[in-house]
Structure 1
Amino acid sequence: MKHRIVVLGAGYAGAIAAGRLARRLHRDDVEITLVNAETEFVERVRLHQLAGGQDLPSRPLRDLYAGTGVRLRTAWVTSVDADRGTVGLTGEQGAETLPYDTLVYALGSTAGALDVPGAAEHAHGLSGKRDALRLRARLAELEPGATVLVVGGGLTGIEAATEIAEARPDLDVSLAARDAVGGGLGEKARRHLYTVFGRLGVTVHENADIARVEAHRVVTGEGREIPARLTVWTAGFAVHPIAAATTLEVSDTGRIVVDASMRSVSHPDVYAVGDAALAEGPGGRPLRMSCATASPMAWQAADSLAARLTGRKVPENTIGYAAQCISLGRRDAVFQKVTRADEATSTVVTGRFGARIKEFICSGAAWSVSHPTMLLPSRRRRL
Structure 2
Amino acid sequence: MTENTDVVVIGGGYAGVMAANRLTQRDDVTVTLINPRPVFVPRLRLHQLVGGTHDAVVDYREVLAEGVRLVVDTVTRIDTAGRSVAPASGDAIGYDHLVYAVGSGSTDPRVPGAAEFAHPVATLEAARRLRSVVETAHATAALTVVGAGPTGIETAAELAEQGRRVTLVCGGALGPYLHPRARRTAAKRLARLGVNVLDGPGTKVTAVTRHAVHLDDGRELPSEVTVWAAGFAVPDLAARSGLRTDAMGRLLTDETLTSVDDERVVAAGDSAAPSDLPFRMSAYAAGCLGAHAADTVLDRIAGKRPAPIDLSFPALCVSLGRRAGIFQFAHKDDTAMRLYVGGRAGAKLKEVSCRFSVKHLADEARKPGSHTWPKGERCRRLLRAEHGEAPAAAERTA
- Asked if these proteins are the same fold (TM beyond 0.5), I'd say yes
Report the secondary structure of 1:96's partner residue.
coil
Q: Give the aligned partner of residue 189 of structure 2.
A: 196
Q: Secondary structure at the match of 1:371?
A: helix
Out of 250, 256, 280, the position equivalent to 1:288 is 280
In structure 1, which of residues 85, 89, 92 is the aligned counterpart of residue 87 of structure 2?
89
Name the aligned partner's letter for residue 188 of structure 1.
R
How far the C-alpha of 1:125 sits from its partner, in A, is 1.0
TM-score (norm 1): 0.91
Instruction: Provide the rounded CA distance (Å) in 1 between the counterparts of 2:233 and 2:53.
Output: 26
Specify the alignment match of 2:388 in structure 1.
none
2:6 to 4, 7, 21: 4
CA contact (8 A) 1:148 1:229 kept: yes
1:46-68 Cα deviation digits (max 9, x unpaired): 0000110123375222454353x
Q: Deviation digits for residues 299-329 of structure 1, max 9, x if unmatched?
A: 1111121112112343344222110100000
2:71 is aligned with 1:73 = yes
Distance in 2 separating the partners of 1:63 and 1:296: 19
Q: Once the two structures are superposed, what CA deviation does each residue of 1:329-354 show, in whole Å capped at 9, x if it has no partner?
A: 01100001011111111111001111
Q: Which runs of 5+ in 1 are unaligned?
A: none
Q: Give the counterpart of 1:16 among 15, 18, 27.
A: 18
- Find the counterpart in structure 2 of residue 34 from structure 1: 33
- Shifted more, 242-251 versus 12-21: the winner is 242-251
Determine the C-alpha separation between the residues in 2 that align with 1:66 and 1:364: 17
Please say if 1:25 is aligned against 2:18.
Answer: no
Select the residue among 350, 358, 365 that pairs with 2:357. Answer: 365
Could you tell me which residue of structure 2 aligns to residue 300 of structure 1? 292
What is the aligned residue count?
A: 368
**Which residue identity does 1:291 align to in structure 2?**
A
Contact (CA 8 Å) 1:113, 1:235: kept in 2 or not? no
- Output the amino acid matched with 2:14: Y
Question: Could you report, residue by residue, the CA deviation over 1:218-274 in whole angstroms, capped at 9, with x for unpaired residues?
Answer: 112343212211011110001111111122110111110112221111111101111
Aligned residue number for residue 343 of structure 1: 335
Q: Any gaps of 5 or more consecutive residues in structure 2?
A: 372-397
Give the match for residue 138 of structure 1. 133
SS in 2 for 1:362: helix
Q: Secondary structure at the match of 1:19?
A: helix
Q: Residues 46-61 of structure 1: matches in 2 within 5 Å? A: 46-56=45-55, 58-61=57-60
Do the aligned partners of 2:161 and 2:193 also contact (CA within 8 Å) in 1? yes
Distance 1:73 1:239 in 2: 21
Partner residue of 1:330? 322
Shift of 1:378: 7.8
| TM-aligned CA deviation for residue 288 of structure 1 | 1.4
Deviates more, 1:223-232 or 1:113-122: 113-122
Percent identity between the two aligned chains: 38
For the 8 Å contact 2:106–2:121, the answer to whether it is kept is yes
Q: Which of the numbers 123, 132, 150 marks the counterpart of 1:128?
A: 123
Moved more, 302-311 or 2-11: 302-311
Displacement of 1:215 in angstroms is 0.7
Contact 2:148/2:230 (8 A) holds in 1: yes
Shift of 1:205: 1.4
Q: What does residue 209 of structure 1 align with?
A: 204
Q: Secondary structure at the match of 1:373?
A: helix
Quote the offset at 1:79 in angstroms: 1.5
Question: Matches of residues 179-190 of structure 1 in structure 2 within 5 Å?
Answer: 179-190=172-183
Structure 1 residue 82, shift from structure 2 partner: 2.4
1:16-74: CA deviation from partner (whole Å, max 9, x where unpaired): 1100111x222xx221100011111011000000110123375222454353x111101
**Contact 1:113 / 1:236 at 8 angstroms: preserved in 2?**
no
Residue 155 of structure 2: aligned partner? 160
SS at match of 2:131: helix
Q: Give the C-alpha shift of residue 115 in structure 1.
A: 2.9
How far does residue 372 in structure 1 lie from its aligned partner after superposition?
3.2
User: CA contact under 8 A between 1:147 and 1:228: conserved in structure 2?
Assistant: yes
Contact 1:189–1:334 (Cα < 8 Å) also in 2: yes
* Cα pair 2:34 2:72 within 8 Å, conserved: yes
Cα distance in 1, alignment partners of residues 124 and 58 from structure 2: 13
Q: Describe the shift of the 1:373–1:17 C-alpha distance in structure 2 as closer, same or farther (beyond 3 A).
A: same
